[in-house]
Every structure is written in C-alpha cells, then in structure tokens.
Amino acid sequence: MARTPEAVIIDPDLGTRADIKRALMLAHFTVSGEAGYGIEAVTVAKEQVPDVFVVSAEEPVARALQTIEALGDALPDTPTIVYSSLADAASVRRAMVSGARDYLIKPVKPEDLTRAIYGVMGQEERRRMRASGERQEAPAHGTVITVFGAKGGIGKTTISTNLATALVRATSSTVVLVDMDTRFGDVAIMMDVAVEQSIADLARRVGEMDRDTVRDYLVRHHSGVMILPAPLHPTEWRNVTPQQITKIINLLAESYDYVIVDTPGTFNEIVAVTLESAGLILLVTSMDIASIKDTALALEMLQSADVSEDKVKLMINHSTAANTLREEDVERVLEYKVFWRIPHDLNVATSTQLGQPVVITKPYARVSRSISDLAAALRGTVTEKKGFLERFLGH
C-alpha cells in the first residue's frame, strides 16, 4: 500500500491552522507537525521531514516569506504550498519568488489541497529523476484540445473545424484536426477533402509509426490545417482500441503545435481517452434544456474522474436563434462559469453547404470574429477590446 503523504502546517493563527488540519485530514493526508513562523517552523520541519509544507501568508507577509525561504534552505527537497486570503498577483509572485510551488486562495477546499499536494510532489519527483539521470528528456509536446459535448447536434464539429482553421490563419502554428466522431465523422465533408486513408487505417499500423511516418495518413486542407479523417463506415471503429487512440494522439502532439480532437455526442472508451489525453477540454452546450441537462451530467462525470476545473472550459454555442434560457441561467443551473459563447449566425449554414469553414468564407461575420477571438484566447493572446465586448454583448 502506498504511504500516506505527510504535511507540516505553518500558521501562527491557531484557528485557521485547525481549519487547514481538518481539510488535510478530510483529504486523507497525515499532519505530522504544526508550528508558527521562524525558528519554530524550521525546528519542527527538521524533526518531521514531511513530504510537503503548507504555509499561511497574510499581511504583513514578510515573516511568512522569510519562513518559506528558511524552510527551503533547511529542506530543499520538500515543496511548499501557500494558502492566503490575498488574491492579487503581487502577493502570489512574492510567495513564488520566496520558494512556494503553489498558491491557494482561502477558503481552501480539501479537493484543492489534494490536487496541489500531489501536483507539487509530482513536480519534485520529476525534478529529482532529471537530476539523477533516471528520467529521459521528453520530446516537445503540442497542446491537445478535445471538443466535447454530451449531446449531438450542438455544433462541436463546426467549432472544431473553424477553431483549427482560425489557429492556422492567425499564427504560424501547425494544427492537426482529428475526427474522432465514432458515429458520423463529418470533418472531411465540412472541410471538403477526399478521404483515402482514415484513423482506422492508421490505428492498424500505429505500433510501427513514429512522428514522421504518421503524417502519411493526414490530408492537407488548403488553409494549412492537417486532417486525420474518420472512417467512411462507422463499423470500422470496431477494431480501433483506446490504446491505439492514445498512441495516435501522442504521436501527433509530438509533431504539431495544436491537436484538435472532434468527438461524438456520446461517451465511450474512445472518447474517454481523448479526454484523458487533452490539455484542454472545450465542453460545448447549446441553450436548450435537454443539452443543459446532459451537460450537467457530463460535468459530474468529469469531476468524479478528478479532472481539474482549470482544464474544462464551458462553451455556449447558440446553434439556433431560439433560446429557452439566458446565459446567466446556464451558469446558475450548472454552477459553472461560462468561458466562451459562440453567437448564432446564418452564415454558418451557408458555409457548411459550401464545404468550407465560415472563418474563411465570411471572416468578418459575428461567428467568425468570435471563433477567431477564441483562438487568440487559447494561444494566450490578448484580444482587442472590441472583440472582447462583442463576444459578451453579441454586438
């Protein structure tokens, strides 16, 4: 049985120290010691030699920062997590400069502590393995974005094809779009490309493939997007295994800046591995009640699988002009913040009939501007104020 990680709490306030101790115990960690700042903290740390320090930092923070530095000097292999009511960037930066590995805003939940502790412990183990030569240097890895939704007909493929195109057009990034829709697989039709080889053909030989040979199975769209099409016949998915899909996604991520994965409106083993492989999940819902209900179930499923909220971004796609709910109602019902909204735009249907992404056929349409701004946000690029306002106000 794996050993339970041990933590030492550093907090001069006995009340908040007790709260953190309860949270740690609820998260099934062992509290091996407690102390205030300064010499007391270092003495307890050397006596216990824990797996992690959990340190409070409140104004005035100088004493806390000095203690964090002293703990780092005393036990450099033990990571420190700070918790505080100070949420401004300057406070976070000062804690990180002093040696903190993570920073939690109060009130601290047990699940937040769990993720933070295992996260910093994992970082420390990887650092130790690199220093000892046990860990080989991993190849560069692009960002895997899985476009997911618990219901069909809500525009996931439209978002996937246009997002991939917008990423290529706005930057020099390389993008591959993977059609993982095990029921319909419409990417090739919506991008107007011929399917000669599909993901099923690649899966049969993926054990022989490397990051270079995998490209032989891709189709190039004139926009620059590379496409791995779905099979023409859904029955071909029967021989594709989750292990093969994981291998394919990893190979593509070693060659491309972005891997966009389009998924079906259902949940199966294939979809599960695309979610596990993703660095970012765009969870799409429309505004009808059935889609909201299914999205609530999808969020529960992701949370039960311990998928971080930072990884899951909720998107509202106004796929029709009729809305039965307001966006604030969606956030209230789902208890989840909406990351992005795609406005309803008749240009989408016209572009689909032409077999081209709307960001190409109508680049200045409302929907095109919204998706282009989304691509910029995912790249970490600040959008113009006008695009920001249009995104939220729909003008």
Average pLDDT over residues 239-252: 91
* Close Cβ partners of 276 (under 8 Å, ≥ 6 residues apart): 246
Phi, psi of 294, rounded to the nearest 5 degrees: -65, -35
SS3 202: helix
Residue 105 near residue 85, CB atoms below 8 Å: yes
Instruction: Give 388's pLDDT tier (boundaries 50, 70, 90).
Output: very low
pLDDT tens digit sequence for 76-128 = 999 999 999 999 999 999 999 999 999 999 988 888 888 889 889 888 888 88
Across the strands, what pairs with 177? 227, 260
Q: Which two tokens stand for residue 26?
A: 């609820």
Q: Give the mean model confidence (pLDDT) for residues 205-215.
A: 84
pLDDT, average across residues 61-86: 93
Query: pTM to 2 decimals?
Result: 0.71
Distance CA 285, CA 291 (A): 6
Provide the pLDDT for residue 367. Answer: 92
Q: According to the model, what pLDDT value does residue 381 have? A: 62
The reported pLDDT for the residue numbered 85 is 93
**pLDDT interval class at 27 (50, 70, 90):** confident
State mean pLDDT over 194-222: 87
SS3 of residue 180 by DSSP: coil
**Which 3 state secondary structure label does DSSP give 261?**
strand
Mean pLDDT of 11-33: 91
CA dist 287 and 330 (Å) reads 8
* Residue 20 neighbours by CB distance under 10 Å: 24
Lowest average pLDDT, out of 55-69, 248-262, 301-315, 369-383, goes to: 369-383
Domains annotated on the chain, with CATH: 6-132 (3.40.50.2300), 143-393 (3.40.50.300)
pLDDT value, residue 321: 63
Q: How far apart are CA 12 and CA 60, in angstroms?
A: 12
Strands 219-220 and 226-228: antiparallel
